[in-house]
């Protein structure tokens, strides 16, 4: 999830005429850095004072070592799961550091190189809180997800609305900006209804009604753009038939998801993965088998998910002779539930996707600034331990959200836990006023501004301590860059002015035995967050023509996490 976004103009933004403004000139970036330093004060410049610290370069190299896999097993439960056609899976992905690349791209060594990326959320799978004006334009409050959009809207009008969105929300220019930011991956969510299965591809139904298909063409286009701009791609099956979690970002918001209870739906999902590999496998680096399957539902769901990971892995390996990597998720059960699961030598090239949010329960919302940071720090140890002995681990979704105040973050028409408007009743808890954490950032307290900076850095450290991270979502990130909230010429925790008004080279930090030049860390430019205002946090952007390029929306919450689900989210 990312922070809620709202278009400044009618939904179809005019972007082409102003793309030249999308990247700030270096001189302006440097000016912004100086301005931030002057406005923020020394307490913010030195805000990184606690808890998770940058590891020394030597320690970082150790943390980069690929896991020593000890073989496949049933993981942390008693579920009996079998690997389909295991003889065809071993060794498929090459050595532990095997690279996945197309001829024109720089090879990427998974398990050694760090994944640093962004999600393209809200594009090929709609989320009301990311594009509220798209949903408002329908004039129907019953349209709360893509399922109901197809159900209640005229087919032709729905197709036109979606096509316009697909054409404009993400373009090749975004890929150019992502590359310029120093990032190396994108994660692209897509729903099963967009995959053009035919009767020759599956023995199950191929109907997608009431969904409106058509996004597959745009995924193929995105794969070409990624190749042109030297970006690696994680394709993420974000929605499965029957819904795998009941969240609107699965395509269907429902209190009764049935994917895990319906063998035909699971079989169709496996067939969908096989089709994707056959049709586009040469341009996909990592295929995520399914996003946020709801293991917390209990019953037969954990076992069904476990078997699906096995069958999905086998389907990918059977459909391709390449070294495509396969990504699974912890299914809200925690990574330790997957100990010794899909590990070498029975399986190769498997990554674990972990999502980290702290805003979807009263317990989490009760945490102080320091407690949020402390809790994030704990993942360095737990994820690092799992990655060292089991599977490469990636923080595939995370954000700087402190509250769930973003409009429709919890669903269209649903309020926030933070201010007690989430299904309000006698037992509702009110944590605070959303106005303190949304709107114009100039009204935020210095304590909150300082927290955002530290929270961003800590979460980056968590991702860097394992195999990498993918921020949710690009449309929030680019707002931060374009408006100086994310500045390129800086490092994690300390400004790098180098050559302009602030002193010669990069500043270093002394902390006990650590005294390292931050350039040695090797973070991409975009990572080196200098702004005290946090990472793409909510702000008000004037609707002037110069801001139209890819800044055709404003963030409305304090960076609501990626999409809708979160580590401890429960409906």
Known catalytic residues are 292, 397
Separation CA 178–CA 128 (nearest Å):
24
Phi (first) and psi of residue 50, to 5 degrees: -135, 175
Q: End-to-end alpha-carbon separation of the chain, Å?
A: 16
Count, residues in the chain: 571
Nearest to 359 by CA among 84, 88, 565: 565
Nearest to 525 by CA among 486, 485, 471: 486
CA distances from 356 to 241, 395, 458, 461, 550 (A): 25, 7, 12, 13, 27
Asked whether 280 and 223 are in contact (CB, 8 A), the reply is yes
Phi (first) and psi of residue 247, to 5 degrees: -85, 155
Separation CA 409–CA 557 (nearest Å):
9
Separation CA 259–CA 266 (nearest Å):
7
Which helix (H) or strand (E) element contains residue 377? helix 369-389
Asked whether 329 and 292 are in contact (CB, 8 A), the reply is yes
Tokens describing residue 132: 């509220």
Beta strands in 220-324 (DSSP E): 232-239, 286-288
Asked whether 487 and 26 are in contact (CB, 8 A), the reply is no
Tokens describing residue 245: 């979690």
- Residue 385: how many CA atoms within 13 Å on its side-chain side? 9
The string of DSSP codes covering 412-427 is TT---TTTT-SS--TT
Tokens describing residue 2: 């990312």
Phi (first) and psi of residue 87, to 5 degrees: -65, -20
Asked whether 553 and 7 are in contact (CB, 8 A), the reply is yes
For strands 115-119 and 468-471, give the pairing: parallel
For strands 286-288 and 325-329, give the pairing: parallel
H helical segments located in 390-535: 446-465, 474-482
In sign, the C-alpha dihedral spanning 344, 350, 356, 361 is: negative
Separation CA 461–CA 297 (nearest Å):
31
Separation CA 502–CA 555 (nearest Å):
31
Beta bridge partners of residue 352, listed in sequence order: 328, 393
Asked whether 527 and 182 are in contact (CB, 8 A), the reply is yes
Separation CA 510–CA 329 (nearest Å):
38
């Amino acid at each position: 999830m990312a922070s809620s976004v709202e278009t400044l103009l009618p939904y179809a933004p005019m972007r082409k005429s102003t793309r030249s403004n999308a990247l700030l000139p270096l001189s302006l970036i440097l000016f912004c850095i100086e301005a931030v330093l002057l406005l923020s004060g020394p307490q913010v410049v030195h805000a990184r004072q606690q808890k998770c610290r940058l590891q020394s370069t030597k320690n970082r190299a150790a943390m980069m070592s690929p896991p020593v896999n000890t073989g496949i097993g049933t993981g942390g439960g008693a579920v009996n799961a079998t690997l389909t056609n295991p003889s065809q899976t071993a060794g498929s992905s090459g050595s532990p550091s095997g690279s996945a690349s197309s001829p024109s791209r720089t090879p990427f060594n998974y398990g050694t190189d760090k994944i640093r990326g962004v999600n393209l959320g809200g594009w090929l799978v709609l989320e009301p809180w990311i594009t509220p004006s798209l949903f408002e334009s329908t004039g129907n409050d019953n349209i709360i997800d893509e399922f109901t959009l197809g159900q209640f809207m005229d087919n032709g009008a729905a197709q036109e609305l979606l096509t316009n969105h697909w054409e404009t929300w993400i373009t090749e220019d975004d890929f150019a900006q992502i590359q310029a930011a120093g990032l190396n991956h994108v994660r692209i969510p897509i729903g099963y209804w967009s995959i053009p299965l035919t009767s020759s591809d599956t023995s199950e139904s191929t109907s997608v009604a009431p969904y409106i298909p058509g996004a597959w063409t745009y995924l193929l286009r995105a794969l070409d753009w990624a190749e042109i701009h030297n970006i690696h791609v994680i394709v993420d099956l974000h929605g499965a038939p029957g819904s795998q979690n009941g969240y609107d970002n699965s395509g269907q918001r429902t209190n009764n998801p049935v994917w895990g209870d319906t063998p035909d739906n699971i079989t169709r999902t496996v067939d969908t993965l096989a089709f994707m590999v056959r049709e586009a496998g040469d341009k996909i680096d990592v295929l995520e088998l399914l996003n946020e399957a709801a293991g917390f539902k209990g019953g037969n769901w954990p076992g069904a998910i476990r078997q699906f990971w096995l069958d999905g892995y086998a389907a990918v390996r059977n459909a391709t002779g390449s070294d495509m990597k396969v990504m699974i998720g912890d299914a809200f059960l925690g990574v330790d539930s997957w100990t010794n699961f899909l590990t070498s030598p029975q399986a190769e090239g498997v990554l674990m996707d972990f999502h980290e949010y702290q805003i979807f329960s009263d317990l989490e919302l009760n945490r102080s600034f320091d407690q949020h940071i402390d809790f994030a720090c704990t993942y360095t140890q737990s994820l690092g331990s799992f990655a060292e002995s089991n599977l490469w681990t990636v923080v595939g979704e995370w954000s700087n959200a402190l509250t769930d105040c973003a409009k429709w973050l919890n669903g269209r028409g649903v309020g926030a836990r933070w201010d007690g408007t989430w299904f309000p009743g006698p037992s509702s808890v009110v944590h605070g006023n959303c106005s303190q954490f949304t709107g114009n950032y100039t009204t935020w307290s210095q304590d909150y501004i300082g927290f955002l900076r530290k929270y961003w850095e800590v979460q980056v450290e968590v991702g860097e301590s394992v195999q990498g991270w993918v921020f949710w979502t690009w449309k929030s990130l680019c707002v931060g860059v374009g408006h100086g909230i994310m500045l390129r010429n800086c490092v994690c925790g300390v400004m790098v002015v180098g050559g302009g008004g602030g002193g010669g080279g990069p500043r270093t930090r002394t902390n006990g035995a650590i005294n390292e030049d931050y350039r040695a860390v090797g973070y991409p430019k975009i990572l080196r967050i200098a702004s005290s205002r946090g990472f793409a946090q909510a702000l008000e952007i004037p609707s002037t023509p110069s801001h139209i390029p890819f800044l055709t929306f404003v963030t409305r919450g304090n960076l609501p996490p990626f999409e809708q689900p979160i580590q401890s989210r429960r409906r």
